[in-house]
Amino acid sequence: MPNPSRRRATIAIVETPSGVKSWPRRALAWRSAVLGEASAHPGRSAAAAVATGYVLAGGLFSPLTARLLATGVKVALRLAVLPFVTHGIVGLTQGFIAASGDEISGRRKTGSHAQSNGKAT
């Protein structure tokens, strides 16, 4: 009789009513898919393994996760607001440039009438 403490884990082979052994096929298909993904994208696979280990080790509700999440939100908000701010600054500077150019040439535009030296044309 084999020693129960030295037993190895094995994949259970399940035979369907039609007589087809289905579990090893699924396991082999899953294994080949994981190995193919790992060889195609090794960096992404390593990041997924690190993230899975972090969550399984209980790091999801830790102060480090809270700090990382807060930093990510700050960066995302800054990146989301940045285009609006730059668009506003560009609009203001173009308005100032146009106004200063009119004053230098001695003309001011008001409505549909252009004035030169205070006289309407």
Whole-model pTM: value is 0.44
Task: Output the pLDDT for position 36.
Answer: 93
Evaluate whether 37 touches 46 at the Cβ level (below 8 Å): no
Distance of alpha carbon 9 from alpha carbon 17, whole angstroms: 25
Average confidence (pLDDT) per 10 residues, the chain, 121 residues: 56 60 75 92 95 93 94 93 88 83 60 52 50
Q: Is residue 72 part of a domain?
A: yes
Residue 27 C-alpha from the chain's centroid:
32
Q: Is residue 91 part of a domain?
A: yes
69 and 106 inside one domain: yes
73 and 35 inside one domain: no
Considering just the CA atoms, what is the radius of gyration of the chain in Å?
A: 34
35 and 51 inside one domain: yes
Task: Output the pLDDT for position 75.
Answer: 95
Evaluate whether 108 touches 115 at the Cβ level (below 8 Å): yes
45: exposed, middle or buried (Cβ count in 10 Å: 0-12, 13-18, 19+): middle
20 and 52 inside one domain: yes
- State both tokens at 1: 């009789």
Strand partners, 119: 116
Q: Is residue 106 part of a domain?
A: yes
Residue 29 domain boundaries:
11-58
120 and 68 inside one domain: yes
Q: Is residue 2 part of a domain?
A: no
104 and 92 inside one domain: yes
Q: Is residue 23 part of a domain?
A: yes
